[in-house]
A and B are shown apart, each in its own frame.
Chain A
């Protein structure tokens, strides 16, 4: 009986291992080199025949922009698919598709995730494509330069939108309490103390938004990643970042800010009920705040971000995305022609802004879109977009993203969570994120200099 059972188990093991060999066999074939697909100037040529491109994004209403393109370009038809947000699963789907060679022609990737896909060798360098060279000059310089990864003339993504930052504040409350709107971080701290005396808080330190913290460090001139001679340098805990961390640690310790997750209903409720008096947000926060805190309409205003040095015009950038041409695309020329049109043509930008709330990455768009020159009733008829155009010009162009940002963010968020729960400091969070990032990069077989 005993031996009989052994034999049966043995049969099962054999079955499983046969299947294993089978998969091993088909697994090894799919990593075969697809050949270098980066399009230098020579190879980025028009197909010379009608083509159909596929395009995915999660911008609401992007279909309208695509429809407009399709109407005017019968030979380059675009088939648009709406997908879930990048970190909700689309990035993972892209990674799988790159592995299987099944990507769309054009896809949406946020700036901070771009290096990760570059590292997966999934992106086409469209810097040599004529449509890109024609449009390059229109984009805010730091936005387009972020997509080159230090390679001369390279463009791995066409900027779709950017998120220059400013402070949204309750004008009525600040006025009534006689507190001036802070123009420096020192003033922000003073205002925070006065607001606390009034029974409110100046704002929130969002515990689940590491990208927000990153953008504050960016404003102060942080350099988290740099590349030289085939090796990466990681310095999440550089002086600029530590200054920002220490500053917020002080506000947290003195209970001058909330520490609730950001951009969710708890925060909207706090903003709509007068508990929180301000929020440091990006251009795309404008419409979001309007729809999420409807009861305080007309009471809000926007001012430039507080500065570390009085009189400066340094701004952070939070969010923003690019349209990439994936490596498997057979038509990089047409794909880049469509993508540059969709994100620099004024008619297209107007649609993207109206339907998807996108803030354009071209100077022309920022200055000329009719919708961006009007005053907004929600903000007491203030022409808020002027503040963001000014901020867009003040974003530090030399900040670079790392190749494993998802992991860096996760480590940072974990550390921030510990810090606000009294199990460490924001400084500790930086140290931990630094160590984790280096470890993860090394696991990706990247050279990291110490």
Chain B
């Protein structure tokens, strides 16, 4: 984010008008399809239900912070946050290291058949999460796995390993995605910089370490932030895994808590969960950005 602002006093007003013109289409859509619904959800979270009798009609009334009090006291929700915290550690470091290594290899002249590898690594991202989880379910289940011995030796769907099993699905889908983000940052490095280093006799490893990696640090930070967000919002994969593993509960991740609550349906509590989840995500992303900023945007 090293935008070079217009220095000296050019026709500032003209620029403001242009900026507004460029921003307007996106901002209008953003306000309509993001801000407005979010506002609605926030509003919903301050309501509660009142009714009379066994099947009496429900009325929404102002509930103040009562739904939030509920959230604070709900151990399932906080347990689910601990779960995704552990999941993050199991899944993300490996995923990002692999993505970086792949991107560097794809960008280096050492590797042949770039197009093939790039396509192969990205291909899983084209598989919708729901389908991917179903497919891996087949590969993990003792009765149906085509990989001999794996299910007998490891109880991949048992309470000890199921997190690793789900992480493997998530990594399968998203490593290629992260690789592409890093790779596209690598392609933005001016060719002469690499050329100059090569002329100076630097090897590929050295070029990668001292030129390429520092250059793509912002992209790495970005993938880190996305991984934090993605992990906190984990939903499809564990939801599918519930149908193949008894070790995944209906409140395994925060988003599953939200979903379960909204299918009761208890919109107000579900909205409160969503708001708290978004705030936690925001806070964690912010802390992460702050912690990495010095390295990322020097």
Interface residues of A (CB under 8 A from B): 15-16, 19-24, 27, 31, 87, 91-92, 95, 99, 116, 118-121, 149, 207-208, 227, 230-232, 259-261, 264-267, 269-270, 273, 275, 403-404, 406-407, 410-411, 413-414, 416-418, 420-421, 423, 440, 443-447
B 1-40 binary contact with A (CB < 8 Å = 1; else 0): 0000000000000000000000000000001000111111
Closest residue of B by beta carbon distance from A263 = B243
- Answer whether A421 and B246 are a contact pair too, CB < 8 Å, given A414-B251, A446-B54: yes
The answer on a CB contact under 8 Å between A119 and B55 is yes
The answer on a CB contact under 8 Å between A420 and B35 is no
In the complex, A120 Cα to B55 Cα: how many Å?
8
- Answer whether A208 and B60 are a contact pair too, CB < 8 Å, given A95-B265, A265-B141, A406-B264: no
Note all chain A residues with C-beta closer than 8 A to B51: 444-446
Whole-angstrom distance from the CB of B101 to the nearest CB of chain A?
35
Interface residue count for B (Cβ, 8 Å)? Answer: 49
The answer on a CB contact under 8 Å between A208 and B246 is yes
The answer on a CB contact under 8 Å between A445 and B58 is yes
Note all chain B residues with C-beta closer than 8 A to A231: 54
Note all chain B residues with C-beta closer than 8 A to A20: 39, 42-43
The answer on a CB contact under 8 Å between A269 and B143 is yes
B206 within 8 A of A: no
B233 within 8 A of A: no
Whole-angstrom distance from the CB of A12 to the nearest CB of chain B?
10
A-B contact pairs, 17 of them (CB 8 A): A19-B35, A19-B38, A92-B265, A116-B264, A118-B55, A208-B244, A230-B53, A261-B245, A266-B143, A406-B264, A417-B247, A417-B248, A421-B246, A421-B247, A444-B49, A445-B49, A446-B54
Note all chain A residues with C-beta closer than 8 A to B55: 118-119, 121, 149, 403
Q: Select B266's contact among A208, A259, A444, beta carbons within 8 Å.
A: A444
Note all chain B residues with C-beta closer than 8 A to A416: 246
The total of interchain contacts (Cβ-Cβ below 8 angstroms) comes to: 134
The answer on a CB contact under 8 Å between B247 and A404 is no
Q: Which 6 A-B pairs have the closest CB atoms?
A: A207-B246, A20-B39, A417-B246, A410-B250, A269-B143, A266-B143
Note all chain B residues with C-beta closer than 8 A to A423: 159
Note all chain B residues with C-beta closer than 8 A to A31: 59-60
- Answer whether A23 and B40 are a contact pair too, CB < 8 Å, given A120-B58, A407-B264: yes
- Answer whether A406 and B159 are a contact pair too, CB < 8 Å, given A231-B54, A259-B246: no
Note all chain B residues with C-beta closer than 8 A to A411: 250
Whole-angstrom distance from the CB of A418 to the nearest CB of chain B?
8
B142 within 8 A of A: yes
Closest residue of B by beta carbon distance from A270 = B143
Q: Select A444's contact among B141, B263, B264, beta carbons within 8 Å.
A: B264
Note all chain A residues with C-beta closer than 8 A to B243: 208, 261, 264
Note all chain B residues with C-beta closer than 8 A to A91: 263
Interface residues of chain B: helix, strand, loop or mixed (majority): loop
B195 within 8 A of A: no
- Answer whether A16 and B35 are a contact pair too, CB < 8 Å, given A121-B58, A266-B244, A406-B263: yes
B158 within 8 A of A: yes
B44 within 8 A of A: yes
- Answer whether A16 and B39 are a contact pair too, CB < 8 Å, given A440-B264, A445-B51: yes
B298 within 8 A of A: no
- Answer whether A119 and B246 are a contact pair too, CB < 8 Å, given A19-B36, A23-B40, A265-B138: no
In the complex, A91 Cα to B266 Cα: how many Å?
13
In the complex, A9 Cα to B260 Cα: how many Å?
35
Note all chain B residues with C-beta closer than 8 A to A275: 143
In the complex, A269 Cα to B137 Cα: how many Å?
14
B 220-250 binary contact with A (CB < 8 Å = 1; else 0): 0000000000000000000000111111111
Note all chain B residues with C-beta closer than 8 A to A413: 242, 249-250
Question: Given A99-B267, A232-B54, A410-B251, list of 6 further CB < 8 A pairs?
Answer: A20-B43, A31-B60, A92-B265, A116-B265, A208-B246, A440-B266
Q: Select B269's contact among A208, A227, A264, A443, beta carbons within 8 Å.
A: A443
Whole-angstrom distance from the CB of B254 to the nearest CB of chain A?
15
Q: Select B40's contact among A27, A232, A404, A421, beta carbons within 8 Å.
A: A27
Note all chain B residues with C-beta closer than 8 A to A266: 141-144, 244
The answer on a CB contact under 8 Å between B35 and A27 is no
In the complex, A410 Cα to B243 Cα: how many Å?
12
B57 within 8 A of A: yes
The answer on a CB contact under 8 Å between B36 and A230 is no
Note all chain A residues with C-beta closer than 8 A to B60: 31
In the complex, A95 Cα to B265 Cα: how many Å?
7
Note all chain A residues with C-beta closer than 8 A to B242: 208, 413
Q: Select B246's contact among A92, A232, A261, A407, beta carbons within 8 Å.
A: A261
The answer on a CB contact under 8 Å between B43 and A27 is yes
Note all chain B residues with C-beta closer than 8 A to A259: 246
Note all chain A residues with C-beta closer than 8 A to B59: 31
B262 within 8 A of A: yes
The answer on a CB contact under 8 Å between A265 and B246 is no
B 53-75 binary contact with A (CB < 8 Å = 1; else 0): 11101111000000000100000
The answer on a CB contact under 8 Å between B143 and A260 is yes
In the complex, A411 Cα to B250 Cα: how many Å?
7
In the complex, A446 Cα to B266 Cα: how many Å?
13
Note all chain A residues with C-beta closer than 8 A to B36: 19, 22-23
Closest residue of B by beta carbon distance from A415 = B249
The answer on a CB contact under 8 Å between B244 and A421 is no
- Which of B42, B54, B244 has most chain A Cβ within 10 Å? B54
Closest residue of A by beta carbon distance from B242 = A208
Note all chain B residues with C-beta closer than 8 A to A420: 246
Note all chain A residues with C-beta closer than 8 A to B138: 265
B 155-167 binary contact with A (CB < 8 Å = 1; else 0): 0001100000000
- Answer whether A92 and B251 are a contact pair too, CB < 8 Å, given A19-B35, A23-B39: no
The answer on a CB contact under 8 Å between B247 and A19 is no
The answer on a CB contact under 8 Å between A414 and B250 is yes
- Answer whether A414 and B159 are a contact pair too, CB < 8 Å, given A266-B244, A444-B266: no
Note all chain B residues with C-beta closer than 8 A to A265: 138, 141, 143-144
The answer on a CB contact under 8 Å between B249 and A414 is yes
Whole-angstrom distance from the CB of B106 to the nearest CB of chain A?
36
In the complex, A415 Cα to B249 Cα: how many Å?
8
Note all chain B residues with C-beta closer than 8 A to A21: 39
Note all chain A residues with C-beta closer than 8 A to B263: 87, 91-92, 95, 406
In the complex, A407 Cα to B267 Cα: how many Å?
14
Note all chain A residues with C-beta closer than 8 A to B52: 230
